[in-house]
Amino acid sequence: MPSPRQRPLSSLGEFGLIERLARRFGSVGGPTIVRGIGDDAAVVRSVPGRHLLASTDMLVEDVHFDLRYASLFDVGYRAAAANLSDIAAMGGFPEYVLMALAIPQVHTTHDIDQLYRGFMALCGKYHVRLIGGDTSSSPQGICLAVSILGHVAPHSTLRRDGAKVGDQLYLSGTVGDSLAGLLLIMGSEDRFDRSLADRASRHLIKRHLRPTPRLELAQLLAARHLASAAIDISDGLSSDLGHLCRNSKVGAVIHADALPISSACRSFALAAGKNPVELALQGGEDFELLFTVPQQARPSLDRLIQRHRLPLTRIGTIQDARQGLRVKFKDGSHRQMPKSGFDHFRQPAMTS
């Protein structure tokens, strides 16, 4: 007799499963949720004077994750991180999530609980509540599509299209870690000696499997109107900078030496015979924030960085669109930014 945590999905059925999820992870009532899971649609109170933010992000087994390397808890956690990061990149406050899940019948109730536990672990940290979803069997592989709702003050919205020539480019945290972590767990770097750098490799793997969205930081920048444009790093710095610049109709130069690269990523690159600058430019899914700051806002930003010890690095400058996207090196030489980042229809599977 299987334990209740390990029951096959057929023993519960679709509706039994939804009831279980609603009971364990769903949100009902409170001042804002008029109707949670259980009706044809959730009903939430809207707040006058605020803009509603809505976004969806999908994770597909063997495209975005591989269950040989990631646990279902990790998968749920990352689904939450990717969605929360999109709200962060708008300068917004996340409020509600809906989870559409397609799952093969070989999985058990325990597997689904683990997925939702990981998902709610990060959502709960930001008081984001589960108010609905959809459930389907899947002939092959898990697919989860998360929708997120949030709000933003109309005049504080961070957009991709506000960068102007002369604005400075800033990046939060470090970039390249997630890709290094992915390469590590996929074991494709057989020259990398895990026993030599255990703490560093654990750090990189965690950065890949359990990324942190930059919500507080983005909210701070948005409230103070310090950023003229922003985007989160999901496809990779070079690719996401490309999105920001195309939307803003500008170009940019990035200083290779200024790129914030963790010591863990550097030692990985060294051991694996890779260029850390390439990892930083091309690695996706760091969920850091890339944003532009007008010259006149820089003193306020500097004060904010000092007061809150913000992990921000100035990495370059916005230029005229005719300059394109360039990387500048210590010796003064320039080169065009490599065209990179993940494109689902142009590359083999297994990354962002």
Q: Does 193 bind Mg ion (CB under 5 A)?
A: no
Q: Which is nearer to ligand ADP, 101 or 301 (CB)?
A: 101
Q: Among ligand ADP, Mg ion, none, what does residue 40 contact (CB within 5–8 Å per kind)?
A: ligand ADP
| 216 touches, from Mg ion, ligand ADP, none (C-beta below 5 to 8 Å by class) | none
Single-letter amino acid code for the residue at 198: D
Q: How far is the CB of 25 from ligand ADP (least distance, A)?
A: 7
Question: Cα-flanking dihedrals φ and ψ of residue 245, to 5°?
Answer: -70, -40
Rule CB under 5 A: say whether 14 interacts with Mg ion: no
Residue 26: CA atoms inside 13 Å, Cβ hemisphere, count?
21
CB of 106 to Mg ion, least distance (A): 22
Q: Is 134 in the site for Mg ion (CB under 5 A)?
A: yes
Residue 208 structure tokens: 């890949």
Nearer to ligand ADP, 98 or 237 (CB): 98
Interface residues toward ligand ADP, by CB under 6 A: 18, 21, 37-40, 99, 101, 130, 132-135
Cβ distance to ligand ADP smaller for residue 136 or 347: 136
101 binds, among Mg ion, ligand ADP, none (CB under 5 to 8 A by kind): ligand ADP
- Short-list 320, 319, 335, 324, CA closest to 277: 335
Q: Which does 9 bind (CB under 5 to 8 A by kind): Mg ion, ligand ADP, none?
A: none
User: Could you tell me the smallest distance in angstroms from the CB atom of residue 14 to ligand ADP?
Assistant: 7
Could you tell me the smallest distance in angstroms from the CB atom of residue 67 to ligand ADP? 18
Distance CA 139, CA 104 (A): 6
User: Minimum distance between the CB of residue 17 and Mg ion, rounded to whole angstroms?
Assistant: 12
Distances (CA, A) of 341 to 175, 238, 285, 344: 13, 7, 10, 10
The tokens for 335 are 């080169």
> Quick one: which H or E segment has residue 53?
strand 51-60
| Count of helix runs (H) and strand runs (E) in the chain | 10, 13
Picked from Mg ion, ligand ADP, none, the partner binding residue 320 (CB below 5 to 8 A depending on kind) is none
Taking the least distance from each CB to ligand ADP, the nearer of 101 and 163 is 101
Q: Which range of residues in 132-140, 248-256, 277-285, 314-322 is near Mg ion by CB under 5 A?
A: 132-140
Rounded to the nearest 5 percent, the helix, strand and coil shares of the chain are: 40, 25, 35
The DSSP string of 164-221 is -TTPEEEEES-SSHHHHHHHHHHT--TT--GGGSHHHHHHHHHHHHS----HHHHHHH
For ligand ADP, the closer CB: 35 or 50: 35
d(CA 29, CA 113): 22
How far apart are alpha carbons 237 and 48 in whole angstroms? 36
Rank residues 137 and 263 by Cβ distance to ligand ADP and give the closer one: 137
Could you tell me the two tokens for 190?
């057989």
Rounded least distance, CB 107 to ligand ADP, Å: 13
Query: Least distance from C-beta 116 to ligand ADP, angstroms?
Result: 8
CB atoms within 10 A of CB 62: 13
Bridge partner list, 326: 253, 336
User: Which residues form the interface with Mg ion (CB under 5 A)?
Assistant: 134
